[in-house]
Structure 1
Amino acid sequence: MIKHIVAFRLKKELSADEKADAMNTMKARLEALPPMIAELETVEVGLNFNPTDAAFDVVLTTTHNSVDDLGTYAAHPDHQEVVKFILSVISDRVVVDYEV
């Protein structure tokens, strides 16, 4: 099994309301993907409540049966639509992929 973890930091120029809306939209759109992408086994999206500057705002954890399945998920058109939105509201992201 492959775990794919991504942490996102939203743009600082977003107001508190815009940030909350963006975080909730990211969560809803990411959690809607499993029925659309067979290679996506599980999705978990967490919204940060830690106010420190070191904290990221949103974390995504997905699982896949293989590295190939992770690649198929990443390139899938439905995932790419969500990525377009995410890229419009984030300033930074970090990624870790590993085999369990």
Structure 2
Amino acid sequence: MGNWEAVAQAVNDRMRERGITQRELAESSGVSPATLRQIQHGVSRQRSRSTLAAISRALGFPEDRLREISLSGQPEGHHMVTDASPLSDLRQEVADLRKRVEALEATMPREAPK
């Protein structure tokens, strides 16, 4: 059993804060849009630890953040790890962008040396 309404609130709030669409979150987390939709609506269904960890990482939370919220029912509990510092958030975003650029570059044809 989990508190999926609290998880939905945390996910939706973080997506809004970061300006992330459901599609972008699906791509960066590797979780299907259908599963994300259920999570965003607080559908009561057990989720795997790896699914919650992937979404947590994609949102810039510590890996176990959403799992902790599902267990405690407190999206902003004082006993949980707080959000990473702005500098840590920026570093994570840069790392994510580098991965995206590398993935895009891998699909582009290489130019022959002149």
TM-score normalised according to structure 2 size? 0.27
Q: Per residue, is there more strand in 1 or in 2?
A: 1
RCO higher in structure (CA 8 A, sep ≥6): 1
Q: Whose Rg is larger?
A: 2
